[in-house]
Amino acid sequence: MTTMTDPPKESFQLSMLLNDTRYRSLTFQAIAAILLALSIWYLGNNLIQNLRAAGLNISYEFLGNPSGYDINQTLVEYDSQSTHARAALVGILNTLLVAFLACVTATVFGVIAGVLRLSKNWLVAKLMAVYVEIFRNIPVLIWIVIIFTIMIAVLPGPREFRGADPDASMFLGVAAFTNRGVYIPQPYFIRGFGGVADLLLVIAFLAGSFFAVRAVNARATRIQEATGERPQTLWTNLAIWFGPLIVLFLALGLTFDVPALKGFNFAGGIKIGGPLIALWFALSIYTGAFIAENVRAGIQAVSKGQTEAASALGLRPGRVMNLVVLPQALRVIIPPLISQYLNITKNSSLAIAVGYADITATLGGITLNQTGRAIECILLLMLFYLTASLLISAFMNVYNASIKLKER
């Protein structure tokens, strides 16, 4: 008695594009896509026509011409005879520098503030809450300008370090805090082999120590697992870290070039420019407030049972946080952290407010203005920020994947 008939095979009709729910969304998406493409085409066409009407054309030749302007912070060789492309490179490096520095310090600020905000100490918790709310709710541009203005007004100018009885003096005789920047001693080797070679040597020594320390720790773990008692490794490790390095420094003749007042400014040493400091600090402290909230959310997402179980095992509160809670919280913290890093990179384009020569200030500012190639410069800027953002998120996603809960 099984007379199951197949449902009548219905043929496709045009009206089904609208009436049939299976096709309707596809139809609308196709229409939207066509409209979008048309409007992009219209805009592009409009742009090209208007440019032609105004007698302008798109050309990147200007990148090869001498820029004609100087830049105050250059990580690579550059002067006013260098090309616009080189000026853009200087800007890119400056952007990456401040973004990197700010990401590191913002993370440090954020983790500290986020953890402390959950502290049982009422005062500490409230202080952190105030920090988060104040910094998160005032635009970062304002912070940049405030910090820079305070720096200019409060710190002494180099002029005030001059004379027999100066108004200002150097910190411990080796570092100068001025309203143009901070000058610190620069280490160098008298018997060195030249910049890069020395650097590689130091890195090689550090890497050697790193692996040696890893071996020592692995051995300690093995002993711990076998006997239940972990041998003391602190002193050995410290010796491994510092011993070889000190020997190397002595061999190469480590010396410091201490900044000294010369003419209008301090000369010698390393200069960390005022604009860099203001931008770096403002970005870190602002983004740090956001990261603090991510960290707090991450910690609170770890179930209380974990903390209680860890305490029941006899772990001290600090260890509970470091060994049990934070590693699990990281899974919740990392994804929003990625977008904070992207924000830092993009917000660093506010640099021009304090005269920091980032890519927006060089390529998107002076070059654009002096050559009048607005569209070309803006397109390049977009390309740069897009690439930088995508690279950062790709990198962080790899990291995220590596700490994800691994089901075994």
Partner 1 sequence: MKKSVFFGAATVAALAAGAAAAGTLDDVKARGKLNCGVTTGLVGFAAPDANGEWKGFDVAVCRAVAAAVLDDPNAVEFVPTTGKTRFTALASGEIDMLARNTTWTFSRDVDLKFEFTGINYYDGQGFMVPKDLGVSSAKELDGATVCIQTGTTTELNLADFFRANNISYEPVPIETNAEAQQQYLAGACDVYTTDASGLAATRATFEDPSAHVVLPEIVSKEPLGPLVRHGDNEWGDLVRWTLNALITAEELGVTSANLAEMAASAGGNPEINRLLGTEGNLGEMLGLPADWAVKALAVGGNYGEIFEANIGEATPIGLARGLNAQWTDGGLLYSPPFR
Which residues form the interface with partner 1 (CB under 8 A)?
Answer: 32, 35-36, 39-40, 42-43, 46-47, 49-50, 53-56, 68-72, 79-81, 149, 152-153, 156-160, 179-180, 262-265, 267, 274, 352-353, 355, 357, 361, 365-366, 368-372, 374
Could you tell me the smallest distance in angstroms from the CB atom of residue 163 to partner 1? 11
Residue number with CB closer to partner 1 (379 or 394):
379
User: Phi and psi at residue 273, in whole multiples of 5°?
Assistant: -65, 150
Q: Give the whole-angstrom CA distance, residue 94 versus residue 272.
A: 12
Residue number with CB closer to partner 1 (72 or 217):
72
Residue number with CB closer to partner 1 (156 or 185):
156
| Residue 6, Cβ density class (10 Å: 0-12 exposed, 13-18 middle, ≥19 buried) | exposed
Residue number with CB closer to partner 1 (156 or 192):
156
Could you tell me the smallest distance in angstroms from the CB atom of residue 149 to partner 1? 8
Residue number with CB closer to partner 1 (158 or 288):
158
Name residue, tokens 């920091």: 356
Could you tell me the smallest distance in angstroms from the CB atom of residue 80 to partner 1? 4
Could you tell me the smallest distance in angstroms from the CB atom of residue 84 to partner 1? 13
Could you tell me the smallest distance in angstroms from the CB atom of residue 79 to partner 1? 8
Could you tell me the smallest distance in angstroms from the CB atom of residue 183 to partner 1? 13
| Residue 348, Cβ density class (10 Å: 0-12 exposed, 13-18 middle, ≥19 buried) | buried
Q: Give the whole-angstrom CA distance, residue 302 versus residue 314.
A: 19
Could you tell me the smallest distance in angstroms from the CB atom of residue 40 to partner 1? 7
- Written as one string, the DSSP assignment of 45-68 is HHHHHHHHHTT-----GGGGSB--
Task: Give the CA distances from residue 200 to residues 117, 205, 336, in Å, rounded to whole numbers and listed in that order.
Answer: 41, 9, 35
Q: Give the whole-angstrom CA distance, residue 358 versus residue 96.
A: 9
Cα 394 to the chain's mean position, in Å?
A: 14
Residue number with CB closer to partner 1 (79 or 133):
79
Residue 176's CB: how many other CB atoms inside 10 A? 26
Residue number with CB closer to partner 1 (36 or 403):
36
